[in-house]
């Protein structure tokens, strides 16, 4: 097996997408390995998930210990660099990254968003989609650039919106697809790669 790409996962919450990625890794043939899990919350469930999976470095950095967002992001970037990570994977990371961080890891930061971008960016994608009355929603895996939820789209999955849905039921249906799609895209990203044609992601090696 070829050498695995080293992954840093940044998370703020329960860590369900991290768990899905680690489950894919545990299958034994993943082309990546999670080397670092970094959180901005000391009570993040992702910390326990990472420790249980014996991720080599599990780190909580408190934003309150830094003067501003740029200083905090610079500290995070140093940890990621020290661990030699090839990719930065945002998994429920609820902070907007500074431009300096994004530039430092340009083209190597990915995120998953619980809506079909470019519709409904921001922290309330599920609620905004419901309020707008859409009949389908879903999730989007995208590259991260300096504009919130704006980077080129790597993959999307669609779910129906039922008449009796509320934010909780729709979010649960979307998360089922997130947990399937995110490890799949990460595997493809590492093993195949892609080219950019403007904003369009063109996967190497065809559509599979």
Please name which of 201, 182, 204, 183 lies closest in space to residue 193, comparing C-alpha atoms: 204
Cβ-based neighbours of 72, under 8 Å, separated by 6 or more:
40, 61, 63, 66
For 151-168, the three-class secondary structure string (H helix, E strand, C coil) is CCEEEEEEEECCCCCCHH
- Separation of alpha carbons 191 and 67, rounded Å: 39
For residue 65, the SS3 value is: helix
Neighbouring C-beta atoms of residue 207, cutoff 10 Å? 5
Indicate if 113 belongs to the active site.
Answer: yes
DSSP H or E run through 113: strand 109-113
- Separation of alpha carbons 55 and 51, rounded Å: 6
Q: Pick the catalytic residue: 113, 124, 132, 179?
A: 113
Neighbouring C-beta atoms of residue 92, cutoff 10 Å? 23
> Is residue 33 within 8 Å of 7, Cβ to Cβ?
yes
The residues annotated with a catalytic role in the active site are: 113
């Amino acid at each position: 097996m070829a050498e695995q790409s080293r992954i840093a996962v940044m998370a703020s919450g329960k860590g369900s997408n991290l768990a899905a990625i680690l489950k894919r890794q545990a299958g034994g043939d993943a082309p990546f390995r999670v080397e670092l899990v970094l959180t901005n919350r000391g009570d993040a469930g992702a910390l326990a998930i990472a420790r249980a999976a014996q991720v080599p470095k599990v780190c909580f950095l408190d934003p309150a210990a830094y003067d501003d967002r740029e200083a905090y992001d610079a500290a995070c970037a140093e940890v990621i660099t020290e661990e030699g990570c090839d990719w930065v994977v945002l998994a429920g990371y609820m902070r907007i990254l500074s431009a300096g961080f994004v530039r430092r890891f340009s083209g190597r930061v990915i995120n998953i968003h619980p809506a079909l971008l470019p519709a409904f960016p921001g922290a309330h994608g599920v609620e905004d989609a419901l309020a707008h009355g859409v009949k389908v929603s879903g999730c989007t895996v995208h590259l991260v650039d300096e504009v919130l939820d704006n980077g080129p789209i790597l993959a999307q999955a669609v779910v129906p919106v039922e008449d009796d849905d509320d934010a909780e039921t729709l979010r649960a249906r979307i998360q089922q697809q997130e947990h399937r799609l995110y490890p799949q895209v990460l595997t493809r990203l590492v093993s195949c790669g892609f080219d950019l044609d403007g904003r369009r992601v063109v996967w190497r090696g065809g559509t599979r």
